[in-house]
Amino acid sequence: MFHDFKELYFIMKNIVKKLIKKKLKISFAESCTGGLLAASITSINGASKIFNIGLITYSNQAKIDILKVNKNVIKKYGAVSAECCEAMVKNLAKISKAQINVSVTGIAGPNGGTKKKPVGLVYIGVKRSNKIVITKNIFKQKTRNSIQKASVERALDIVSSLI
């Protein structure tokens, strides 16, 4: 799964090409990746034809205010949960009107993890039409940056499989 930069660039280029061909738009709601997903897609020539919105809803308050995630979902399950990830992607789809929407929420570390929710736990949600895929990922990388990069790679792999 962990691609080198050349391979990742090829995957991103391929995604942009496929989205252009199918006239599909894509949007992102990112938390632990801090905009890295949007930056990776917009680094590809032609991305302006397919990229719609990138929201970095890092704080719980931003998730509530901007993405309209119900505060009770965050209270009950936490911001790093399948439930929050699903609410993020569903509400992003309403805001963005894009055909493909992606949400990412997790713990990139090096601190902030618990036994139940360790550093490296990342939920990725992808909504394409009425299909929603929520994946729970536990990345074993050691650094914050490598967990963020692994999250972006995984999200791109899921998007690629759905277009």
Specify the pLDDT at position 141.
82
**Model pTM?**
0.94
Specify the pLDDT at position 10.
86
DSSP alpha helix (H) spans, the chain = 5-21, 36-42, 60-65, 71-77, 82-96, 144-162
What does each of the 163 residues of the chain score in pLDDT, given as a tens digit? 556 667 778 889 999 999 999 999 999 999 999 999 999 999 999 999 999 999 999 999 999 999 999 999 999 999 999 999 999 999 999 999 999 999 999 999 998 889 999 999 999 999 998 999 999 999 998 899 999 999 999 999 999 999 9
Specify the pLDDT at position 33.
95
Specify the pLDDT at position 8.
78
Instruction: Show the CA angle centred on residue 15, arms to residues 10 and 20, nearest 5°.
Output: 125
